[in-house]
Structure 1
Amino acid sequence: MSESFKVKDGDQQLKEGAALASIAVSSLMTAAKLVAGLLSGSLAVLSEAGHNLADIGATTLTYFAIRIAHKPADDEHQYGHAKVEALAALIETGFLFALAAFILVEAVRRLGGHPAEIEASPLIFGILFISITVDFFRWRRLKAIARRTKSEALAADALHFSSDMIASLLAIAGLVAAQFGFPQGDALAALGVAGFVAVAGFEIGRRTIDALVDAAPKGLADKVASIAASVPGVIKVETVRLRPAGPEVIGDLEITVARTLSLEKVAAIKVNVAAEIKAKHPDVSVTIATQPIAVDSETILERILLIAAKRHAPVHHVTVQEVEGRTAISFDVEVDGRMPLGNAHEIASGLEDEIGREFGSDIEVESHIEPLEPRQLPGRDADPDVRAEIESALFQRAHDQGALLDIHNVRVRRTPSGLVVNYHCRVDPALSVDEVHDQVDALERKIRAAFKTISRIVGHAEPAR
């Protein structure tokens, strides 16, 4: 198992354990506050018991939502089940608003009628103080776990416990007011509890609705775009689309690259972009698309080779001339030597037309069709005396030219098309490629003139040491 899966499994166990603990704590606090509320007759305390009762249902829902959210993607849920947590948090919001409405109605009824008789014993105060202490530690623990695992459902639970603390303090204030001859204080405290419950519901609802409607974390798209744009090879970042998916943020990123780059180079750029984003934002996973574009730095040769590569037509000996303000382009195009001339001419003409469209109508394009031998020729080593004769001729002609030195590694093979000769030579490394190519071509012409059975000579030039 990879390290990332171990971490995710560990986070899942932590989330499930925290949810179960919340259920247990909410159950104990509900029972204690219900007893305290019935004994005292305090609406604020009974409201708190109702609040905790709603928490039990909500936290139970959270537990099952966490378990479902951990399931891997399937055919029907191809992005996984992470949003189940946000859905559970939204249902908790409904619980909280319903509870706040009930408390509000009851508090207004008490304020408009005869105040209820409130009796607060030390046991009642003790239960509330214990509740505040428990809620404080549970709030801190759940908040830390929610931050680590990015769990919307646990974040909602943490907010519940924070509102519970405030509500319990208000209930104590109402009991104290009733003890000092102000029985309406309990109903006013209940109104305060309703307000805090409603605020908690609003905060949870706002966050979960953002998750459900795919609201991207504020400013993250700009950061991701900036990171991608800094990677070598990326010309421009066209679009960035991000959305939350449980503890992760997923999305799409489109970048532009030079159209002359090879597929391998484009793939490497995509890998580098993904790695840079992951290094700075480990929770962000993006699918990267590339859009090839023409750049100002493209040469005429690059543009021609790109067109030829797209049409799968190998070209060489590309010549570009400027004649009286008009550009003239010529090149050799290789086609299967067995192909009928009509088909070969169609390929060459199509290539010429596309090059014309690339550079404009006021351009001259001319191609030369060359046969390409696509077959694999059977061969065998030539007789030693034939090889020795050709090797001797190579030494002599190269010596007469003077530029090609140290002819070596001479091989001569017989094929159905004639003799194929391969050899290595050394040249002055300061010579240009054009100069070396001319020297090798000159030697080839001389050898083929001397040996009519030779169909191909391949000379490999190396820098002299």
Structure 2
Amino acid sequence: MGEHHHHHGHDHSHGHHDHAAHASETRLAIAAALTGVFMLAEVVGGVLSGSLALIADAGHMLTDFAALSMSWFAFRLARRPADWQRTYGYDRFQILVAFANGLTLFFICGWIVYEAWQRFADPRPIEGGLMMAVAVAGLVVNIVAFCLLHGGDRDNLNMRGAALHVLGDLLGSVGALIAAGVIMATGWTPIDPILSVVIAAIVLRSAWRVVSESAHILLEASPKEVDSRRIGPALVAAIDAVEEVHHIHVWAITEKRRMVTLHACIRADGEAPEAIRAIKRELAESFGLEHATVEIEYGCCADRPASPQEAA
């Protein structure tokens, strides 16, 4: 029985990961600040003009500000080192925030659809000029924020969840601009709730992807690009000393930190250190799994219940 860890290439990949995370963190901080300032401006404008629409939109911006702030905090927390209680560190918190942001979008989209239904049932007068002014200001802020987030790490679920919130607002601003134009030109107010439902459907589709991908990671499922069924046969075929592979577990801490543990039964004359190095190399090259824990066995699995003869 032997066990060995080899972390070839981790320093380089972690260095690159840290740089990307720091850049994403900065982008999130700026986007959150922009959203927060615009939210406060909407509250002041709503109070001064007596516009309920402005104050209601400020409430929506508050949820985005909270989402962006949580995403930023997740990046900050992920920089903390691992400890004896959290041996993998705090990286997984980013996935939790992405999952929470995705679920929040479900509720927001549901609220938009409900409000649209209420508007259909009870049409209200809409001041097109004020609506246009708010939409233009919101569009500028959201374009800047979305460009900031879209230019960050696109593979990071936390960034994608945050960007989705801003994208929802951006599409909302575009929809409001179109609706305001139609209302000012024709006076046809149903265009406002109709466009709201269309935008909610677009955001909901993207939110579902973020929720399903983050849930996949939280459930410790195998990364979608790794077929765990192929690992055992591939190792047996590639490495002469390996006779059989079992107890294979593949999961991810985040979408970029993937892990694998397995038991490998090798020939009686096989050398455990060489077999472990060969297995780790094959896992990295063929499956992109660079963090592997390998347990070497001779003859039978150590986890197999002992027979009465062995127990005696």
When normalised by structure 1's length, the TM-score is 0.54
Aligned residue in 2 for 1:104:
113
Per mean C-alpha deviation after superposition, the further-off stretch among 6-15 and 82-91 is: 6-15
> How far, CA to CA, are the matches of 1:226 and 1:163 in structure 2?
46
- Structure 2 spans left out of the alignment, 5+ residues: 1-9, 301-312
Alignment of 1:19-418 (within 5 A): 19-31=28-40, 49-120=58-129, 123-131=133-141, 133-142=143-152, 145-147=153-155, 151-179=156-184, 180-220=186-226, 221-222=228-229, 224-225=231-232, 227-229=234-236, 230-246=238-254, 247-261=256-270, 265-282=271-288, 284-293=290-299
**Helix, strand or coil at the partner of 1:252:** strand
**Aligned pair in 2 of structure 1 residues 50, 283: CA closer, same or farther (>3 Å)?**
farther
Are 2:35 and 2:141, in contact at CA under 8 Å, matched by a contact in 1? no
Q: Distance in 1 between the 2:46 and 2:179 partners?
A: 12
> 1:139 deviation in Å?
4.4
Alpha-carbon contact 1:166-1:196 (below 8 Å) kept? no
Spell out the pairing of 1:12-23 with structure 2 (5 A cutoff). Answer: 12-23=21-32
In 2: Cα distance, 1:159 partner to 1:94 partner: 12
Structure 2: distance between partners of 1:234 and 1:34: 67
Separation of aligned partners in 2, 1:208 and 1:2 = 26
Q: Unpaired runs of 5+ in structure 1? A: 295-465
Worse overlay, 57-66 or 70-79: 70-79
Report the Cα offset of residue 214 of structure 1: 0.9
CA distance, structure 1, for counterparts of residue 199 and residue 163 of structure 2: 17
TM-score normalised according to structure 2 size? 0.77
Shift of 1:288: 1.0
Relative to 1, partners in 2 of residues 1:77 and 1:136: Cα closer, same or farther, differing over 3 Å? closer
**Match for residue 15 of structure 2?**
6
- Report the residue type matching 1:114 in the other structure: P
Question: Once the two structures are superposed, what CA deviation does each residue of 1:243-289 show, in whole Å capped at 9, x if it has no partner?
Answer: 1102301121222211233xxx1211111211232245555412112
Q: Which residue does the alignment assign to 1:361?
A: none
Q: Which has the higher helix share?
A: 2
Aligned equivalents of 1:82 and 1:290: distance in 2? 29
Segment of structure 1 superposing worse, 241-250 or 124-133: 124-133
Give the count of matched residue pairs. Answer: 285
CA distance in 2, matches of 1:222, 1:188: 47
Say which SS state the counterpart of residue 242 (structure 2) adopts: coil
Indicate the SS of the match to 2:151.
Answer: helix
Superposed displacement of residue 47, structure 1: 6.6
**Contact 1:255/1:289 (CA < 8 Å) preserved in 2?**
yes
Q: Provide the C-alpha distance between the structure 2 equivalents of 1:191 and 1:138, rounded to a whole number of angstroms.
A: 26
Tell me if the contact between 1:228 and 1:276 (Cα under 8 Å) persists in the aligned partners: yes
| Alpha-carbon distance change, 153 to 96 in structure 1, aligned in 2, over 3 angstroms | same
Alpha-carbon contact 1:135-1:162 (below 8 Å) kept:
no
Contact 1:42 1:186 in 2 (8 A): no
3-state SS of the aligned residue for 1:71? coil
Contact conserved, 2:175 with 2:196, CA < 8 A, in 1? yes
Deviation track 1:365-412 (CA, whole Å, cap 9, x = no partner) reads xxxxxxxxxxxxxxxxxxxxxxxxxxxxxxxxxxxxxxxxxxxxxxxx
Describe the superposition over 1:185-207 as per-residue Cα deviations: whole angstroms up to 9, x where unpaired. 11222333443443343332212
Per-residue CA deviations over 1:124-165 (Å, capped at 9, x if unaligned) read 4532442453255234213xx142xxx321121123333333
Q: Which amino acid aligns with 1:166?
A: L
Question: What is the root-mean-square deviation in Å for CA atoms of aligned residues?
Answer: 3.2
- The percent of aligned pairs where both chains have the same amino acid is 18
Is the alpha carbon distance of 1:277 and 1:153 closer, same or farther for their aligned partners in structure 2, counting shifts above 3 Å? same
Give me the whole-angstrom Cα distance separating, in 1, the residues matched to 2:78 and 2:162: 16
Contact 1:174-1:188 within 8 A present in 2 as well: no
Give the drift of 1:42. Answer: 8.9
| CA–CA separation in structure 2 for the residues paired with 1:280 and 1:48 | 50
CA contact (8 A) 1:139 1:158 kept: yes
